[in-house]
């Protein structure tokens, strides 16, 4: 697991002065005259990503200025300090006084996330600059959060040839061992014996057997259950995807990766909860024994499901896992899944939409997302659309016709399998289409930092 860290404190750390355009004049006035003149000559104005190296009399690096951007830039982007940190030459840097704690925390977390490298298959140069943890922040907490996000990125970035259901199980076992958690796995034909028929149906055509991963940690406190979609590769099944749509399907286990990253944060921080993580891990493959359009499956809960598109498989495996989670009567069930293209059309790749009937949950998540720069957006469990998932032939339809409200109908489908616990569903993308500050192109965690921040309010911790 990639574990980003801060540099050790050093008396030789290079001062790093961060400011926005309004604070640039004060920052320059605090410098020796020659360095201020040099910064002005290089056009430093505190813009987002601006970076000027200030030399001493011998030409060595004496200090550095980085820009945070104006209010408009900060509204349109996040982790803007990380954009500048990537331009610094090799060395160990210490942020100077003058920033609010919230800005220091964002700069520090941005540094940790920007240091991520997925170098399993090709060497990647580490960041040249190393940052000492700023005074006044909880450096250990930020490193734990960054490690959880980097675990999520590693899992998503690994190709399906090496991240099948068995590999995802191995990653969960590694995490359980690290935190002394308990783990149980139901595999292959045992899924039918133990009454997980839809997980088995979706994964039965693959060479690597489907399974349900069940991790438990903590003996006291509210019961929190996280359910993550673990479709390790999605061909679409017999309703095969076109090549362009199949290209990124190694990330279809992004929900599982996200809940494992969040679980690491929760366990490493020692939150007083009874944590459970359920991951239905499958490959949706094509074969003579693949499930078919117009099949009718009976779920763990007893509800029947008409299959009108084998490419709407994620909600099927989640349904069995959610029904199982609900039987334990937890205080909160949260699912995360790369579930629908409709969610991407609605809010794009950068926002994690969520569905909940709990206004307090929605408020806590919205506030937390702003605090930790992890954008989420509430979507509606719109009850009048329930009829759209009722085909008449069976209790439920896994792929309603018409193309309208696809994210909402998928969420309503999942809600049918939770009867006793408060339920929130995240429909994430799990992928950064192009590099952005602190977020290189590739797998990315979404919604997990907002959830972590909101958990004390949600669970009354």
Structural domain includes residue 446:
yes
| Neighbour count for residue 423 (Cβ, 10 Å) | 27
What's the confidence (pLDDT) of residue 270?
98
CATH of the domain at 327: 3.40.630.10
Residue among 204, 177, 199 nearest 186 (CA)? 199
Q: Which pLDDT band, with edges at 50, 70 and 90, does 2 fall under?
A: confident
pLDDT tens, position by position, 147-188: 999 999 999 999 999 999 999 999 999 999 999 999 999 999
Q: Which pLDDT band, with edges at 50, 70 and 90, does 297 fall under?
A: very high
Looking at the predicted structure, is the pLDDT value of residue 1 above 80?
Answer: no
Q: Are strands 129-131 and 91-95 parallel, antiparallel or unpaired?
A: parallel
Same-domain pairing of 228 and 172: yes
Structural domain includes residue 9:
no
Residue 298: Cβ-neighbour burial (10 angstroms; 0-12, 13-18, 19+): middle
Structural domain includes residue 7:
no
Structural domain includes residue 19:
yes
pLDDT tens, position by position, 378-435: 999 999 999 999 998 999 999 998 889 999 999 999 999 999 999 999 999 999 999 9
Same-domain pairing of 81 and 173: no
What's the confidence (pLDDT) of residue 371?
95
The catalytic residue among 315, 416, 439, 449 is 315
Burial 30-65 (b: 16+ CB within 10 A, else e): ebeeebbebbeeeebebbbbbbbbbeeeeeebbbbb
What's the confidence (pLDDT) of residue 393?
94
CATH of the domain at 90: 3.40.220.10
Under DSSP, the state recorded for 61 is E
Same-domain pairing of 114 and 211: no
Same-domain pairing of 182 and 125: no
Domain that holds residue 332: 143-459
CA distances from 373 to 56, 75, 118, 352, 446 (A): 36, 11, 23, 12, 10
Domain closes at, from 71, 106, 129 = 129
Residue 217, both tokens: 């940690």
Q: Is 40 tagged catalytic? A: no
Domain closes at, from 79, 103, 129 = 129
Same-domain pairing of 311 and 421: yes
Same-domain pairing of 275 and 407: yes
Structural domain includes residue 203:
yes
The catalytic residue among 87, 117, 173, 241 is 241
Same-domain pairing of 352 and 218: yes
Residue among 204, 186, 442, 435 nearest 316 (CA)? 204
d(CA 103, CA 99): 6
What's the confidence (pLDDT) of residue 98?
79
Cβ–Cβ < 8 Å for 68, 81:
yes
Looking at the predicted structure, is the pLDDT value of residue 456 above 80?
Answer: yes
Same-domain pairing of 305 and 369: yes
Q: Is 315 tagged catalytic? A: yes
Structural domain includes residue 2:
no
Query: Total domain count for the chain?
Result: 2
d(CA 8, CA 183): 36
Same-domain pairing of 361 and 237: yes
Same-domain pairing of 215 and 289: yes
What's the confidence (pLDDT) of residue 97?
79
Cβ–Cβ < 8 Å for 127, 115:
yes
Structural domain includes residue 137:
no
Same-domain pairing of 369 and 274: yes
CA distances from 42 to 29, 35, 90, 228 (A): 16, 11, 20, 49
Domain closes at, from 129, 152, 176 = 129
């Amino acid at each position: 697991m990639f574990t980003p860290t801060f540099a050790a404190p050093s008396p030789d750390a290079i001062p790093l002065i961060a400011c926005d355009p309004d604070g640039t004049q004060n920052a320059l006035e605090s410098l020796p005259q020659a360095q201020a003149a040099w910064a002005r000559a290089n056009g430093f104005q505190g813009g987002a990503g601006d970076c000027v190296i200030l030399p001493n009399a011998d030409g060595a690096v004496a200090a550095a200025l980085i820009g945070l951007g104006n209010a408009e830039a900060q509204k349109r982007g996040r982790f803007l300090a990380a954009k500048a940190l990537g331009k610094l030459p090799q060395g160990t840097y210490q942020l100077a006084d003058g920033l609010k704690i919230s800005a220091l925390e964002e700069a520090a977390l941005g540094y940790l996330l920007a240091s991520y490298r997925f170098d399993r298959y090709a060497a990647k140069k580490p960041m040249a600059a190393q940052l000492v943890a700023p005074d006044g922040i909880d450096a250990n907490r930020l490193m734990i959060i960054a490690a959880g996000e980097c675990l999520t990125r590693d899992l998503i970035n690994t190709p399906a040839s090496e991240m099948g259901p068995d590999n995802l199980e191995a990653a969960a076992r590694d995490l359980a061992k690290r935190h002394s958690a308990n783990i149980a796995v139901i595999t292959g034909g045992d899924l039918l014996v133990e009454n997980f028929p839809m997980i088995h149906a979706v994964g039965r055509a693959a060479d690597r057997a489907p399974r349900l991963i069940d991790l438990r940690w903590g003996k006291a406190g509210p019961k929190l259950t996280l359910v993550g979609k673990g479709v390790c590769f999605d061909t679409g099944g017999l309703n095969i995807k076109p090549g362009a749509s199949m290209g990124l399907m190694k990330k279809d286990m992004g929900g599982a990766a996200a809940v494992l990253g969040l679980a690491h944060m929760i366990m490493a921080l020692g939150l007083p909860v009874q944590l459970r993580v359920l991951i239905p891990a499958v490959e949706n493959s094509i074969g003579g024994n693949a499930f078919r359009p117009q099949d009718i499956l009976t779920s763990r809960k007893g509800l029947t499901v008409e299959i009108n598109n084998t490419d709407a498989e994620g909600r099927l495996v989640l349904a069995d896992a959610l029904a199982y989670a609900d039987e334990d009567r937890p205080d909160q069930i949260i699912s995360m899944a790369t579930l629908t293209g409709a969610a991407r059309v609605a809010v794009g790749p950068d926002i994690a939409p969520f569905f909940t009937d709990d206004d307090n949950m929605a408020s806590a998540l919205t506030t937390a997302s702003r605090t930790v720069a992890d954008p989420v957006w509430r979507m509606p469990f719109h009850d009048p659309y329930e009829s759209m998932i009722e085909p008449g032939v069976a209790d439920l339809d896994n792929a309603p016709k018409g193309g309208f409200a696809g994210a909402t109908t998928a969420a309503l489908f999942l809600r049918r399998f939770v009867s006793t616990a408060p339920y929130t569903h995240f429909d994430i993308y799990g992928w950064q289409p192009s590099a952005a500050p602190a977020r290189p192109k590739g797998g990315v965690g979404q919604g997990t930092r907002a959830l972590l921040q909101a958990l004390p309010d949600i669970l009354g911790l």
